[in-house]
Amino acid sequence: MRRAPEERKRLPPNLEAFAAGDDDAIWRRPTTRRLDDPRPIVLIPGVANRDARVVYEARERRLRAAMKAGDRDALALELAEARRLRIWRGHSIVGFEVFAENVLGIPPAEVEALVARATELGASAEVPSDDTVATWLRAEAGLLEASRDAVVHLRGSGDDARLILEIPVSDSASALAAAGRRAAPLARHHAEQPKDVVDRPRGMPRISRLERDPDQD
């Protein structure tokens, strides 16, 4: 029985492309962008150390303000973002727990409760890649150059993640210009890297160039 087109089981996209004449479709895979930072002293890869410190200071200031105001939900969300951003590295602190307990004075049990609360409020627990963290930090450092009240949030995770920029309208033009200057080197880095690579086994020519053996017909 011939099924309707929408009911037929489709081949994986790479096999469909191969069947359509793309010889390397079965060998092609997306490349993983690598963030190389050759500096001898790096607080956060891909971010100028001065910018890492600026963002650290701004985020510590917001955390302390939430603590002073007794706003548990705001504190939970700020703490969750600080963990995702690995902000403690901007001040040469060895880890999140040390930052929370020794710098902010939050006991470990309370930290766990706050992180759990942040999850209930919709915060993601995914640890972003160094590439994403660098983009996030550069954007926030640029905005902070023009406005003390600026902040950048990372919403969602994986391919659905979005950067949300918050900046007073009065400061927006200069802030976005500063953020753009910091993002430009990363944009060039991404443009120079191939989007995909072909893992065809060494020595194997393209399928279309292989001579067919008449005895195999």
Domain span at residue 178 reads 49-192
Q: How many domains does the chain have?
A: 1
The per-residue pLDDT for 158 is 77
How far is it, in rounded angstroms, from Cα 142 to Cα 183?
9
Residue 118: closest CA among 82, 77, 85 = 77
In three-state secondary structure terms, 10 is: coil
Residue 96: closest CA among 69, 49, 35, 104 = 104
Beta bridge partners of residue 198, listed in sequence order: 28
Residue 21, pLDDT > 70, answer no
* pLDDT tier, 99 (very low <50, low <70, confident <90, very high otherwise): very high
How far is it, in rounded angstroms, from Cα 131 to Cα 41?
18
Residue 87: closest CA among 56, 61, 114 = 56
Domain annotation covers residue 66? yes
Domain annotation covers residue 207? no
In three-state secondary structure terms, 79 is: helix
* pLDDT tier, 35 (very low <50, low <70, confident <90, very high otherwise): low
Domain annotation covers residue 129? yes
Domain annotation covers residue 18? no
Residue 211, pLDDT > 80, answer no
Q: Most distant CA pair in the chain: distance in Å?
A: 83
DSSP state of 104: S
Domain annotation covers residue 181? yes
29: number of Cβ within 10 Å:
11
Contact 31, 197 (CB under 8 A): yes
Domain annotation covers residue 3? no
Average pLDDT over residues 78-88: 93
Cα 48 to Cα 1, 41, 76, 130, 135: the distances in Å are 64, 10, 28, 14, 12
Domain annotation covers residue 188? yes
Domain annotation covers residue 15? no
Average pLDDT over residues 115-128: 92
How far is it, in rounded angstroms, from Cα 198 to Cα 183?
29
Residue 97: closest CA among 84, 85, 111 = 111
Q: What is the pLDDT of residues 46-78, one digit of tens each?
A: 899 999 999 999 999 999 999 999 999 999 999
